[in-house]
Amino acid sequence: MIKKFIRKILGVKDPEQDAAPSKKNKPKVLSAKEHGIDPDLVSNNAVRVTQTLQENGFKAFIVGGAVRDLLLGIKPKDFDIATNATPEQVRRLFRRAFLIGRRFQIVHVMFGSDLLEVTTFRGEAKNEAPKDEHGRVLRDNTFGEQYEDAARRDFTINAMYYDPATQTVLDYHGGIADIRKKTLRIIGVPELRFREDPVRLLRVVRFAAKLQFSIEAETRKPIPVMAALINNVPSARVFDEMLKLLMSGHAMACLQQLRKEGLHHGLMPLLDVVLEQPLGERFVTLALANTDERVKQGKTVSPGFLFASLLWHQVVEKWEAYKTAGELSIPALHLAVDDVLNTQSDALALQRKIGSDMRDIWAMQPRFEKRTGKAPYKLLENTRLRAGYDFLLLRCASGEIDAEMGEWWTAFMEGDEEERAYLLTVKPKSATAQAAPTKKRRPRRSPNRAAKPKPE
């Protein structure tokens, strides 16, 4: 104590304090036997990028979610690379490499359709970095050492580095222990880290639902209090994160986790519609289950179809309101679609292509009701028929409309000319029921009328 007091008076640094950071900056190094990563799960192009950088005198590692998934025995969808090479140095080493990003500059390296994201080690966050009035970092192109880069990452399970050449994992913040405990823990002070980038509020929910991890108590504590900060994030970033959440293969689990963490209210109009509209609950559940199944099977998922499903019953509600006000059915539908798309475009920055796909799917639904004459043949020529038809089947499965309509269109689409001609002569159940003759009832006798005597 006396020695520390004297050093403080004389302005001499405590050697123990100097030693502490250096010790903290050294990662735990795990060998192939200790971490158990299967090299066959690693992308050949990711190995190629790290190898090229290392051969040119730079450090290079696979990092982030890819390492997390590899440690869990899952083949990653995307591979990110971290290096001490600057973005310009990276760009010069690869034929198809493109600089992107404002907040922090990164490089996209392309191999055919395969895209790998290469980032330079980020340095310690600077207080003078531009921020908005809520503390969100707007721009920060500070480069630094690997241990600083690890400290800048969001969660411990995403702050590990894998070197394919040596098959070693570098762990700076106990990520491997948290993976084994199935725990999500943010690096640093939770409130500060969420304020720096409120999108982390959505990310922690997505990881918890997707990985079935619990959120560490200190990490969870500020989440409901800071939910409103998401409103300050550019809508395009919120949309990207929302798309990742809904196309994670665990969409319904993610939405349930959002409700559990108190993030469903006011986060965006879309979530309020999905989670709180009883009319569309079964429809939405089926749509998300269908999406999850396609993701797990490795099939493509159309964002337009997904968002059309989530917002359909909002369209139906407005459609009925316009018809009640006196509009004809088809014009009323188009007005309802305009209202919903305008609202959601402002909230979610829906891309024009996605909005166009949603509009086509919705506008096609009344056309399925026309099952006479040339109308069904004309619908077969529509380039968006398959998406509209799948949407129709979803409506049938949810009980919104009679399953007979979906069965009729399935038979019509799969049938030959003779079968189609026959189907056009078959009246829909509803029409048959209306046209069915009713039994004639004997007229009731008036109680005041005297009964006629039987003839003798």
Q: Residue 42 region, left (φ>0) first, then alpha (ψ -120 to 50), else beta?
A: beta
Is 402 in the active site? no
Is 171 in the active site? no
**C-beta atoms surrounding 39 within 10 Å:** 10
CA distance 245 to 263: 13
CA distance 328 to 340: 18
Q: Which of 126, 91, 95 is nearest to 106 (CA)?
A: 91
Note the helical H segments in 36-152. Answer: 44-55, 65-71, 87-93, 146-152
Encoded tokens for 110: 């392309």
CA dihedral of 418, 422, 428, 434, whole degrees rounded to 10: 170
Beta bridge partners of residue 155, listed in sequence order: 186
Secondary structure (DSSP) of 205-238:
HHHHHHHTPEEPHHHHTTHHHHGGGGGGS-HHHH
Q: Which residues contact 2 (CB under 8 A, 6 or more apart)?
A: none
Encoded tokens for 160: 């590990």
Question: With contact defined as beta carbons under 8 Å apart, do 129 and 137 qualify?
Answer: yes
CA dihedral of 287, 289, 293, 298, whole degrees rounded to 10: 50
Encoded tokens for 189: 């002070």
**C-beta atoms surrounding 213 within 10 Å:** 19
Residue 112 three-state SS? coil
Q: Out of 14, 18, 69, 80, which one is annotated catalytic?
A: 80
Q: How far is CA 388 from the centre of its chain?
A: 22
Q: Out of 69, 149, 154, 178, which one is annotated catalytic?
A: 154
Is 80 in the active site? yes
CA neighbours within 13 Å on the CB side: how many for 277? 21
Find where tokens 């050294």 sit.
Answer: 26
Encoded tokens for 167: 């098959």
Catalytic residue numbers read: 78, 80, 154
